[in-house]
A = this chain, B = another copy of it.
Amino acid sequence: MEKKIITISRQFGSGGRTIGREVAEKLGIPFYDKELVDQIALESGFAPKYVEENGEHSPGTSSFSYSFLAGVTPGITTGLSTSDFLWNIQCSVILQLAEKGPCVIVGRNADYILKDREDCLHTFIHADLPFRADRIVRLYGESEKSPETRLHEKDKRRKVNYQHYTGRTWGAAVNYDLTLHSSNLGIEQCADIIVNIVKNSKKEG
């Protein structure tokens, strides 16, 4: 079965986004990361920044927050919590994008949302703590919290969000076709491994 859609789940700072971009460039297919956020924002009525910060995080938004947001955000009249409303839009947007054709999708539990499509290659990228700590400081700058605390908090939120909406364990090998240790294997090699699998799947038809 030809693998047309590549989903990339990743630990924060592991280079998953960079790998995804390289894979998309090498295969000449769209790369959905920021574009995905914008589309979800458009369909939900939330600000892109809100979507970016909450789309993969713990479903902790209270009904109070929902009530508050419901007053200012057109379109939220479903009685769902803001988290659940965002999740529904996220599922819908990711399913639509996959229908449009080959692409690389980073994060947002796309591996689960697209689990019934056989033309997907689901991957998970992780790395050592020092590699990730160094990377987030270089890419996103310093902050009041230590890099280790930032990594721990962000991964924990992604984990809780994944568990809540999918019932699966985040980072369990069985959820993915392929998982890669990017600090041991190298960002470039990780991208090449994924590209080769996709190319081989085309030969098989």
Contacts and interface: CB of A to CB of B under 8 A. Distances in A.
Give how many copies assemble into the complex. 2
17 contacts: A11-B174, A126-B174, A171-B172, A171-B174, A173-B176, A174-B181, A177-B180, A177-B181, A177-B185, A178-B179, A178-B180, A178-B181, A178-B185, A179-B179, A185-B197, A193-B196, A193-B197
A189 interface: yes
Nearest to A118: B184
A177 B196 CA distance: 18
Contacts of A181: 174, 176-178
A124 interface: yes
Instruction: State the main secondary structure of chain A at its contact with B.
Output: mixed
Nearest to A9: B173
Interface in A103-121: none
Contacts of A88: none
A200 interface: yes
Contacts of A126: 173-174
A140 B191 CA distance: 38
Contact of A200 (B169, B174, B176, B189): B189
A172 B184 CA distance: 16
Contact of A184 (B171, B173, B177, B196): B177
Nearest to A200: B189
Interface string A45-86: 000000000000000000000000000000000000000000
A124 B173 CA distance: 8
Interface in A146-198: 169, 171-174, 176-181, 184-185, 189, 193, 196-197
Contacts of A173: 124, 126, 171-173, 176, 179
